[in-house]
Amino acid sequence: MDAVPPCPEASSFYLMLAVFVFVFIASHIHDNYSWVDRTWSIVPVVYAWMQASHTLAAATAPVPLLNTVTVFCVLVTAWGLRLTYNFHRRGGYCRGGEDYRWNHVRTWPVLSTHPAVWVLFNLLVISLFQTWLLWAITLPVSSLPATALTGRDAVLALVLAALLLLEMACDNEQQHFQRAKRGPRAAEDPTLRYGFCVTGLFGYSRHLNVFCEGAVWVVLALAAYLQPAAAPLPWHRLAGCVVLEVLTWFSTGLITERLTRAKYPLYAVYQRTTPMLLPALTSTTARTLALLQLREGGARSGKAAEAAPQE
């Protein structure tokens, strides 16, 4: 039998470094900073299976078909397939496609002072940090055993699967909304004419898909943390999950929300009625639409009063 590598993360770590070098060179040459985005749904799946293969190869007893590490890796694969498909239908793999938020980030004073500052930001943050994060969120897989799936792990696997299904539903609702709002009836439909979706699942959270995305990796980390092991789970295997949650709150609140509100002033109403990430217990759609129509009516009355001739 071939010798098993001494560290389950070693091989995937070297691959992560290779991906980092590739995305940095590609982004610098093409002046396009979404190369990490193109790998976002692919490399974590590869990392997870690399770590799982180490666990399976190191097993001393027969490995059951329905074992913990394989079940969670299958779910990570399903996560990757869903995200890859959604990124594709949104045009993410089209030549020249780039996340609109990078243009906004480039205008930040600290990054626009000199071209070298942006190159350094690309090297350390866009390329290295994000590539490391995609590797780090999969590290809990190294702590999952190749033993038969327990009842606890089965419950966590079902929760993770439910989160994936919820993400798929959010993706489909958003895709349908984006198509419908460009259709001929958008101006007459009160659920379409404001430019942002407030119905369906988006009546519970402004970014429910983003919330579910972070929760997927929290559940994976929890599954690893709860494994009965002789030694406690190494802190570095939980770091990716924690950092991802912090980054999610930062990028969504500081960048995405601000850009959306600047584009759609009435988005402020939606912000007041509906949580940003953590979903509400009941839908806010009816209240949001009522306030939007009230605010829209008030704005029209104000414009009419300004346009009226003065006596």
> Got the DSSP string for 157-196?
HHHHHHHHHHHHHHHHHHHHHHHHTTSTTTTT-TTTTTSS
- The pLDDT of 104-120, averaged and rounded, is 90
Q: Examine the domain organization and report whether 175 and 274 are in the same domain.
A: yes
Q: Examine the domain organization and report whether 122 and 187 are in the same domain.
A: no
Q: Examine the domain organization and report whether 139 and 198 are in the same domain.
A: no
pLDDT digits (tens, 9 = 90+) for 286-301: 999 999 999 876 655 5
Q: Examine the domain organization and report whether 141 and 169 are in the same domain.
A: no
Residues 6+ apart with CB under 8 A from 58: 4, 146
Query: What is the residue range of 66's domain?
Result: 1-146
Q: Examine the domain organization and report whether 103 and 175 are in the same domain.
A: no
Least confident of 7-11, 174-178, 194-198: 7-11
**264 vs 259: CA distance, rounded Å:** 9
pLDDT digits (tens, 9 = 90+) for 84-111: 999 999 888 988 888 889 988 988 988 8
Number of domains in the chain: 2
Q: Which of 128, 146, 164 is the last residue of a domain?
A: 146
Q: Examine the domain organization and report whether 130 and 171 are in the same domain.
A: no
Q: Examine the domain organization and report whether 154 and 278 are in the same domain.
A: yes
Q: Is residue 78 part of a domain?
A: yes
Angle at 171 (CA atoms; ends 206, 277), nearest 5 degrees? 25
Give residue for tokens 């959270």: 205
